[in-house]
Amino acid sequence: MVTAFILAGGKSRRMGADKAFMEGGVSRLIALAESCGAARIVTLCGSVERASMFEGEVWPDPPSAKSLMDVLDWVMRQVDDDVQLIPCDAFGLEQSGLTALMESGGGTPLDPSGNRQPLLSFCPRGWTTGASKDSVDSLFSSLPSLSLVGLEEQMKNFNRPQHLD
């Protein structure tokens, strides 16, 4: 069973608008995860105040979380399933890319530049985050890199408006 976590708690400062509602937003990602067979889909909304902004199962960050690394580490301990992470700025992610991730057996995809995209990682059941919580990359360092030939464009993230062109 796969639980998909949609990461929608950020401030989107560089983007200038809330990425959770751009390009079809979280609703599009929920529908995408459903179409790819995710048995459970949880939107991680950030602060408690953001919870009412989203439909379906929504979790605010735990009070003890001081960073995204804390939230991700906590999330991995909440379910005993395969976990698929999906950031709300996965604007180019389509069914073919998400299916490939969910069928990979586990790993962190590479974008067109060969950079690892840990917030799109597929974490197999029983996997635990890395001991170092210095960065998001360090949390997922034990997962292999996934070169999904022909699907790299879908693995890009978007941090600035000009990236949407």
N residues, the chain: 165
pLDDT at 164: 42
pLDDT at 102: 98
For 26, the enclosing helix (H) or strand (E) is helix 25-35
pLDDT at 163: 44
Domains assigned to the chain: 2-164 (3.90.550.10)
122: number of CA atoms within 13 Å, CB side?
21
pLDDT at 132: 76
pLDDT at 81: 96
Residues of the chain with pLDDT under 50: 15, 160-165
Q: Is this model's pTM higher than 0.95 or not?
A: no
For 82, the enclosing helix (H) or strand (E) is strand 82-87
CA distance 161 to 165: 8
CA distance 106 to 125: 9
pLDDT at 77: 93
